[in-house]
Amino acid sequence: MTDSLLAISNLVKHFGGVHATDDVSLDVREGEIHALIGPNGAGKTTLIGQIIGELTPDAGSILFNTERFNDLPVPARVSRGLARTFQITQLLREETALANVALAIQVRQGHSFSFFRDARKDPSLIEPALKILGDAGLSQRAHVEVAELSHGEHKQLELALALATQPKLLLLDEPMAGLGAAESREMTEALLALKGRVTMLLVEHDMEAVFALADRISVLVYGRIIATGTSAEIQANAEVRAAYLGEGDA
Site residues (CB under 8 A) for another protein? 15, 52, 54, 73-76, 78-79, 83-84, 86, 90-95, 99, 103-104, 106-108, 112-120, 147, 161-162, 164-165
Residue 54 vs 215, nearer CB to another protein: 54
The secondary structure of residue 195, as a DSSP letter, is: B
Q: How far, in Å, CA of 95 to CA of 61, rounded?
A: 37
Q: Are 51 and 82 in contact (CB under 8 A)?
A: yes
Cβ 192 to another protein, closest distance in Å?
24
In angstroms, the CA 236 to CA 239 distance is: 9
Closest distance of CB 18 from another protein, Å: 12
Burial 133-144 (b: 16+ CB within 10 A, else e): bebbbbeebbee
Query: Distance between CA atoms of 12 and 61, rounded to whole angstroms?
Result: 9
As beta bridge partners, residue 13 has 21
Other C-beta atoms closer than 10 Å to the C-beta of 22 total: 18
CB of 133 to another protein, least distance (A): 15
* First and final C-alpha spacing in the chain: 37
Nearer to another protein, 108 or 195 (CB): 108
Shortest CA distance to 194 belongs to which of 136, 244, 140? 136
Q: How far is the CB of 162 from another protein (least distance, A)?
A: 8
Q: How far is the CB of 212 from another protein (least distance, A)?
A: 26
Q: What is the DSSP letter of 147?
A: G
Residue with Cβ nearer another protein (177 or 207): 177
- 120 in helix, strand or coil? coil
**Nearer Cβ to another protein (173/214):** 173
Decide whether 203 or 225 has the Cβ nearer to another protein: 203
Report the Cα 215 to chain-centroid distance in Å. 16
The strands making up 199-203's β-sheet, listed across from edge to edge, are: 82-84, 169-173, 199-203, 33-37, 216-221, 224-229
Cβ closest to another protein, residue 66 vs residue 114: 114
Q: What angle do CA 89, 83, 56 make, to 5 degrees?
A: 90
| Cβ nearer to another protein, comparing 147 with 193 | 147
Least distance to another protein, CB of residue 150, Å: 18
